[in-house]
Amino acid sequence: MLYIKCPWCGERDETEYHYGGEAHIARPENPDELTDAEWAEYVFMRTNTKGVHRERWVHSDGCRRWFNVARNTVTNEIVAVYKAGEKLDLPDATAPVKAAAKASAKSPAPSEAKKPARKTAADKKEGA
């Protein structure tokens, strides 16, 4: 059973929380403009990371706040916990998300242009 530090309540057992899947997948603002494949990418496709994974949790039996956790999927070590809308920079070796973002920034393929940005609306508001 994981031991997770809610940014508002502190450390609690995993049983107080619910898992919310991969973090930083923003809902597209204009779904009608996406192709089926692009929409499917948003709805169904996730990274299945081996290593540090950014994911969402909600403190269901506590403050009911959603927040982000960076967890190593191999060891379950929690590298960081941060609030929705906050940014987290990790050392390169443990940040596949960041590495992927860099790669796409270098050469944005035309077909990727409409792909949902891997940022939440909250990121947009507070982070960027």
Partner 1 sequence: MTEKFRTSQGTRVDRSKVINFTFNGKAYRGAEGDTLASALVANGVHLVGRSFKTHRPRGILTCGSEEPNAIIQLETGPRSEPNLRATQIELYEGLIAKSVNCWPSVNFDVLAVNGLASRLFVAGFYYKTFMDPKSMWMTVYEPMIRRMAGLGVLPREKDPDTYDHMNEFCEVMVIGAGPAGLAAALAAGKSGARVVLCDEQVEFGGSLLNSKEIIDGRPALEWVASAVAELEAMDNVRLLKRANAFGYYDHNYITVHERRTDHFGPGAKPELARHRVWHFRAKQVVLATGSHERPLVFADNDRPGIMLAASGQAYANRYGALPGKRGVVFTNNDSAYKVAIDLVDAGMAIPLVVDLREVADGELPNTARQKGIEVVTGAGIVATEGRKRLKAIEIAQISSDGEKITGAKRRIECDTILMSGGWNPAVHLFSQSIGKLRYDEEKACFLPNISSQKERTVGACKGTFDLQSALEEGMTAGALAAQDSGFGKGKAPAAPKAVVVAEKPLKAIWVVPTDHPVGQGPRKHFVDYQHDVTAADIMLAAREGMHSVEHMKRFTTTGMATDQGKLSNVNGLAILSAQLGKAIPQVGTTTFRPPYTPVTFGALAGRGINGDLADPVRRTPMYSWHLEHGATFEPVGQWQRAWYYPKAGEDMHAAVTRESKALRDGVGILDASTLGKIDIQGKDAAQFLNMIYTNAWLKLPVGSCRYGFMLKEDGMVFDDGVTSRLGENHFHMTTTTGGAAGVLDWLEEYLQTEWPDLEVYCTSVTEEWSTLSIGGPKARALMEELAPEMDFSNEAFPFMTWREGEVAGVPARVFRISFTGDLSYEINVRNWHGLHMWEKCMELGAKYDITPYGTETMHVLRAEKGFVIIGQDTDGTQTPQDLGMDWIIAKSKSDFIGRRSFVREDTKRPDRKQLVGLMTENPKEVLTEGAQLTYERVNPTPAPMVGHVTSAYWSPNLDHSIAMAMVKDGHNRMGQWIYAHDRGKVTKVKIVSPVFYDQKGERRDG
Asked whether position 27 contacts partner 1 by CB under 8 A, the answer is: yes
If we measure between CA atoms, which residue out of 106, 88, 33, 111 comes closest to residue 80?
88
Asked whether position 89 contacts partner 1 by CB under 8 A, the answer is: no
Q: How far is the CB of 9 from Zn ion (least distance, A)?
A: 3
Instruction: Pick what 45 binds: Zn ion, partner 1, none; C-beta below 5 to 8 Å, kind-dependent.
Output: none
If we measure between CA atoms, which residue out of 20, 19, 36 comes closest to residue 28?
36
Strands (DSSP E) along the chain, which ranges? 3-6, 10-13, 18-22, 52-58, 66-72, 78-83
- CA–CA distance from 87 to each of 82, 119, 126 (Å)? 8, 10, 9
Q: Using CB under 5 A, pick the residue from 37, 40, 63, 121 that binds Zn ion.
A: 63
CB 70 within 8 A of CB 52: yes
d(CA 101, CA 54): 13
**Cβ proximity to partner 1, 26 vs 101, nearer residue:** 26
Q: How far is the CB of 56 from Zn ion (least distance, A)?
A: 13
Chain residues binding Zn ion by CB under 5 A are 6, 8-9, 59, 62-63
Chain residues binding partner 1 by CB under 8 A are 1-3, 18, 20, 26-27, 30-32, 34, 36, 39-40, 42-44, 56, 58, 60, 64-66, 74-78, 84-85, 120-122, 125-126
